[in-house]
Amino acid sequence: MSPAASALLQPGDAAPDFTLHATPDQRVSLSELRGQPVILAFYPADWSPVCGDQMALYNEILPAFRESRATLLGISVDGVWCHAAFSAERGLHFNLLADFEPKGAVSKQYGAYDDAGGVSKRALYVLDSEGKVFWSHLSPMAINPGADGILDALDRLGAR
- For the beta carbon of residue 58, count every other beta carbon within 10 angstroms: 23
Non-local (6+) Cβ contacts of 28 within 8 A are 19, 20, 22, 73, 95, 97
Mark whether 51 is an active-site residue. Answer: yes
Domain contains 77: yes
Return d(Cα 70, Cα 81) in angstroms, integer: 26
- How many structural domains comprise the chain? 1
- Give yes or no for a cis peptide into 37 (omega within 30° of 0): no
Q: pLDDT digit of tens for each residue in the chain (160 aa)? A: 334 444 899 999 999 999 999 999 999 999 999 999 999 999 999 999 999 999 999 999 999 999 999 999 999 999 999 999 999 999 999 999 999 999 999 999 999 999 999 999 999 999 999 999 999 999 999 999 999 999 999 999 985 5
Predicted model pTM: 0.94
Domain contains 32: no
**Alpha-carbon distance values, 124 to 23, 24, 106, 133 (Å):** 22, 25, 13, 10
Domain contains 23: no
Return d(Cα 61, Cα 124) in angstroms, integer: 15
Non-local (6+) Cβ contacts of 150 within 8 A are 39, 65, 124, 126, 135
Look up the CATH number of the domain holding residue 99: 3.40.30.10
Q: Nearest to residue 109, comparing CAs of 96, 98, 120?
A: 120
**Catalytic residue selected from 9, 39, 41, 51:** 51
- Where in the sequence is the domain holding 133, given as residue range(s)? 47-157
Of the CA atoms within 13 Å of residue 68, those in its CB half-sphere come to 25
Q: Nearest to residue 124, comparing CAs of 67, 66, 75?
A: 75
Domain contains 3: no
